[in-house]
Amino acid sequence: MSTTTAGPAGPSNATGLPAAPFLGAKRRPLEAVIKALLIISAMLSIAITFGIIAALIRPVIDFFGEIPFSTFFSNDQQFGVLPLVVGTLMVTVIALVVAVPLGLGAAMYLSEYASRRARKVLKPTVELLAGVPSVVYGFFALTFVTPALLQGLLNLEIGFTNALAAGLVLGVMIIPTIASLAEDALSAVPQAMRQGSLAMGANRMQTTVRVVLPAAISGVAAAIVLGMSRAIGETMIVALAAGAQKNSSLDIFEGHQTMTGFMAQTAGGENPVGSLEYNTLFAVGMLLFLITLVLNMISISIVRRFRQAY
């Protein structure tokens, strides 16, 4: 049985080596400072959220004091929000049709197939798309996608501003968000699960699709929902390429104004502050805030439900 003796240099064991110090005996001052900064950061985020809500509430109350809910949630061309919701959903669905397959495909390649050297080059390249200003994407849709690709190459009878071009370019913009987060979720799956699947006779594709992807489904779902939230909240692409006319039709070849596009137009117009038209901006903004909040809550519930601890 080993014994511990005390010497001039501190306690030592039977081998004569100094015993390891008890790290929990004294907390380092720097740790307390870091913990305080993290708490302040978390509380500041909550305070900013409540500040946004407080800034929206008063104009929203004034707006609904004059405009009933039935008019707001209708096809009314002046105060109705339904055409804006339709345009927002159309552009978002088109964006997800583009971004989800490409984003998940890029994530699976980077996580399961790419070599370490290729991953170091390709992943920053994919994430570089997220650094391109959205106004550049908007002008790209306006000056290239619609005239050169849709009208020229595909010979489609399509308007100069339309939901299809805006959705396609918006999908390209959110690819890095989905690809990066999904790749992190796939890479977090233990290597033992891959080795076990391969040992059972599955090939690499079967292992990726039937083992790795289901194991990382919570992170993948969160990446898709976050990409959807990013698409719904985008402004410049839809303001430039989708159009500025309220439209309730489901024709993707026509122009459709989205909620964010309407807000940009209203905020940049000549509506006096405090007027009914100006307060419409806050009513639409509150609805957009609630939609984004619901999507984030869905994402959190999905992550908690399907999360697997390894």
Structure confidence at residue 302 as a pLDDT band (50, 70, 90) = confident
Query: 78: closest CA among 307, 280, 300, 282?
Result: 280
C-alpha distances (whole Å) from 72 to each of 245, 263, 267, 283 are: 17, 15, 18, 9
Q: Is the pTM of this model over 0.95?
A: no
pLDDT tier, 25 (very low <50, low <70, confident <90, very high otherwise): very low
Residue 155, sorted as left (phi over 0), alpha (psi -120 to 50) or beta, turns out to be left
Tell me what the pLDDT averaged over the chain comes to: 85
The residue with greater pLDDT, 144 or 19, is 144
At 28, list the tokens: 């380092």
Q: Is 5 helix (H, G, I), strand (E, B) or coil?
A: strand
pLDDT for the residue 21 = 52
3-class SS at 30?
A: helix
Model pLDDT, residue 122: 87
Rounded Cα distance between 96 and 167, Å, is: 8
Residue given tokens 């305070």 in the structure block: 47
* 3-state SS, residue 11: strand
Question: Mind listing the domains of the chain with CATH numbers?
Answer: 69-306 (1.10.3720.10)
Q: What confidence score (pLDDT) does residue 26 get?
A: 52
Q: Pairing state of beta strands 10-12 and 5-7?
A: antiparallel
CA atoms of 289 and 48, how far apart (whole Å): 13
pLDDT in tens, 58-98: 999 999 999 999 899 988 888 899 999 999 999 999 999 99
- Report whether pLDDT(47) > 90: yes
Tokens at 158, concatenated: 């399509």
**Cα–Cα distance measured from residue 174 to residue 22, given in angstroms and rounded to the nearest whole number:** 49
The larger pLDDT score, comparing residue 270 to residue 95, is at 95
Q: Rounded distance, CA 197 to CA 194, Å?
A: 5
For residues 147 and 144, give the distance between their C-alpha atoms in angstroms, rounded to a whole number.
Answer: 6
CA 242 to chain centre: 20
Given a contact cutoff of 8 angstroms between Cβ atoms, the answer to whether 266 and 279 are in contact is no
pLDDT for the residue 2: 46
